[in-house]
Amino acid sequence: MKKLVLALVALAAIVAVATPALAEFKVSGYYRTQGIATNSDDSLVSFDGPNAAALDSKTQSMVDARLRFKAEYILNENLSLVHFSEVDATWGDSGKDGGPGGDRTSIETKNVYMNYKQGMVNATVGLQGLGDRYQGLLIADDWSAAKVSLALTDGFKLTGLWAKPDEGTSKLNYDDTDLYMVSADGNAGSLKYGLDVAWLDQNQGTLTSAGPGDSPIFFMTNPLDLYFVGASADAKISDDFGISAFGLYVTGSEDIPGGADVTGYTASIAADIKADKNKFGARVLYMSADDFSDADSEAFTPNLGGNYDLAKENLMIFYTDAFYNNGPGGRLATASATNNGTGLIGLSAKADLALGDYYAKLGAGYFMAADTPTGVDDSLGYEVAARIGRVFAEKLDTSVNLAYAGLGDYWKDAGAGNDDDIWKATVMMNINF
C-alpha cells in the first residue's frame, strides 16, 4: 500500500510539473481502514434471505482497507479530465493488495470521463458516477454514460442522460442494455423540486454484468422494457426545519408475447431539524409488494445499480452502512423488499450530535413487510445503531460503530434458517483529502 501511495503521489507530481501554466491538477479522495466483526454471514454484500441468519454465536471478522484517489486535470476553464481509481486492501487477502508481500495489481478504475462547461451547457462523457433523488433506490452506481445539462435560468435546468450498463454477449448483437432519462430540476429558494422520466431498454435475458445484490429485474430470462416516472420536493420551512418527499413509479413488461408485467412504486417523506450544532431527522418509507398470485410482479424492484440506498439514515444492518467497503454492507430491509417481493414499511430516526471534542451519530428503525405470502409473518424487525468518534490532526476521523438488529418472525417463516438477532461492530479510521 505504501508503494502504491508513493507511486500515485509521484505520478501526480510529474503531471503537475508537465502541466501548462494555465492548467490545474487536483487530487482528492479518501483512505479508510476498518476492523469488522459480525455474527452474520454476509457473503452477498447485503444481508438478505438465508444469508441474514446469524451463525449461532460464530463471528465473522476482517480488517478491510480502501484507497480512493481522484485525479482531476483541469485543462482550461471549460474542459477537464478525471480519473478516479480504487485499491481494496483487505488484510491477508492475497487476491487484493492486503496479501503477503504486497506488490499486487488490483488498482481499479471507478471513473474516467471528460467534463465540458460552456455557458448554460454542462456535459460529462465517460464512465461516471450516477445518483438519483430517491435515496439510491433507483441507481447509485458508476456507469458509462453521456450526460448533458442545460441551465435555462438561474433556478431551472434540464438534463438528458444516455447510459449503457451492459453491452451484452457481443458488440455485434442487438442484446445490449441502455438507460435513457430526461430530468428537470428547479430551485425556488425555499423549495427545490425535480422530475424524472426514464426508459430502461434491456435487450437480453440475464445481464452479463449482473451480480450479488443486484435487482431481480437484471436476472429475468427475457428482454425487458421498463418505464419510470418520479418526482421529489425539498421544502425549507425555516432555517432550522425542513421537509422532503419523493415518489417513484415503474411499469413495464417482458418484451415477448405473453411476457410478465412489472409494476411497482416507492414513496417517502422525511423531516430534518437543526438545534444549535445538532441535527435530528425522521423518515417514513414505503415500497410496494407483490401480490404473490401470478407471474406478474407488483413489487418495487428497480435498484438498477450500486446497492447503496438509504445510506444517510445512520443504520448499518437494515439500511446501508454508509462506510462499508468490501465487508457487510447492510440493506437487510431493502434487499428483502426487492429480492423477495415483500415490499417495505420502514420507520427510522437519526441524530447527529456534537459532544465537545467528540461526535455521535445515532440511528433507530422499525421495519415491516408491506405484504407476505400466506403463513409468513410481516415483522422484519428493528435496529439501533451508534457511531462515536473523534477527529485527530484535523483529518483522521476515528470511530467505534455498533449496531444491533432484532429480527422479526418473518425470517423464520420465510425459511432463513433461524431468526437469531444480528450484531455488527466496527472500529474505523477514515481520512478524507
Please spell the DSSP secondary structure of 217-273, one letter per residue: GGG-SS-EEEEEEEEEEEEEEETTEEEEEEEEEEEEEESSTTPPEEEEEEEEEEEEE
Band of the pLDDT at 175, cuts 50, 70, 90? confident
Better-predicted residue by pLDDT, 44 or 244: 244
Mean predicted confidence (pLDDT) in 372-381: 92
Please determine, for residue 86, whether its predicted confidence score (pLDDT) is greater than 70. Answer: yes
Mean predicted confidence (pLDDT) in 176-204: 94
Mean of the per-residue pLDDT values of the chain: 87
Name which of 81-90, 269-278, 397-406 the model is least confident about.
Answer: 81-90
pLDDT at 44 (0 to 100): 43
Please determine, for residue 3, whether its predicted confidence score (pLDDT) is greater than 60. Answer: no
Better-predicted residue by pLDDT, 114 or 307: 114
Summarize pLDDT for 362-375 with one digit per residue, the tens: 999 999 999 998 88
Find where cell 428537470 sits.
184
Domain boundaries, the chain: 28-114+126-142+177-432
Mean predicted confidence (pLDDT) in 168-174: 73
In the three-class reduction of DSSP (H, G, I as helix; E, B as strand; rest coil), residue 214 is classed as coil
Band of the pLDDT at 254, cuts 50, 70, 90? confident
Please determine, for residue 12, whether its predicted confidence score (pLDDT) is greater than 80. Answer: no
Name which of 13-22, 114-123, 283-292 the model is least confident about.
Answer: 13-22
How far apart are alpha carbons 115 and 127 in whole angstroms? 11
pLDDT at 326 (0 to 100): 81
pLDDT at 89 (0 to 100): 84
**Cα torsion at 64, 329, 128, 361 (round to 10°)?**
-90
Band of the pLDDT at 39, cuts 50, 70, 90? confident
Find where cell 416507492 sits.
266
How far apart are alpha carbons 214 and 49 in whole angstroms? 14
Distances (CA, A) of 111 to 142, 144, 167: 7, 9, 18
Calculate what percentage of the chain has a pLDDT beyond 70.
84
How far apart are alpha carbons 251 and 129 in whole angstroms? 25
Band of the pLDDT at 50, cuts 50, 70, 90? very low
pLDDT at 113 (0 to 100): 98
Please determine, for residue 59, whether its predicted confidence score (pLDDT) is greater than 80. Answer: no
pLDDT at 148 (0 to 100): 98
Please determine, for residue 46, whether its predicted confidence score (pLDDT) is greater than 50. Answer: no
State the architecture of 28-114+126-142+177-432 in CATH terms. Answer: Beta Barrel (2.40)
pLDDT at 102 (0 to 100): 60
Mean predicted confidence (pLDDT) in 346-362: 97
- What's the grid cell of residue 220? 429475468
pLDDT at 418 (0 to 100): 60
Band of the pLDDT at 193, cuts 50, 70, 90? very high
pLDDT at 166 (0 to 100): 84
pLDDT at 266 (0 to 100): 98
Name which of 2-11, 264-273, 400-409 the model is least confident about.
Answer: 2-11
Please determine, for residue 6, whether its predicted confidence score (pLDDT) is greater than 70. Answer: no
Summarize pLDDT for 304-338 with one digit per residue, the tens: 888 899 999 999 999 999 998 887 788 889 988 88
Distances (CA, A) of 338 to 81, 99, 255, 264, 398: 37, 35, 21, 10, 34
pLDDT at 358 (0 to 100): 97
Mean predicted confidence (pLDDT) in 74-88: 95
pLDDT at 421 (0 to 100): 87
**Amino acid at position 108, single letter:** E
Please determine, for residue 251, whether its predicted confidence score (pLDDT) is greater than 50. Answer: yes
Summarize pLDDT for 141-168 with one digit per residue, the tens: 999 999 999 999 999 999 999 999 888 7
pLDDT at 253 (0 to 100): 87
Please determine, for residue 2, whether its predicted confidence score (pLDDT) is greater than 60. Answer: no
pLDDT at 43 (0 to 100): 46
Mean predicted confidence (pLDDT) in 10-34: 71
Please determine, for residue 25, whether its predicted confidence score (pLDDT) is greater than 50. Answer: yes
pLDDT at 417 (0 to 100): 58
- What's the grid cell of residue 205? 435475458
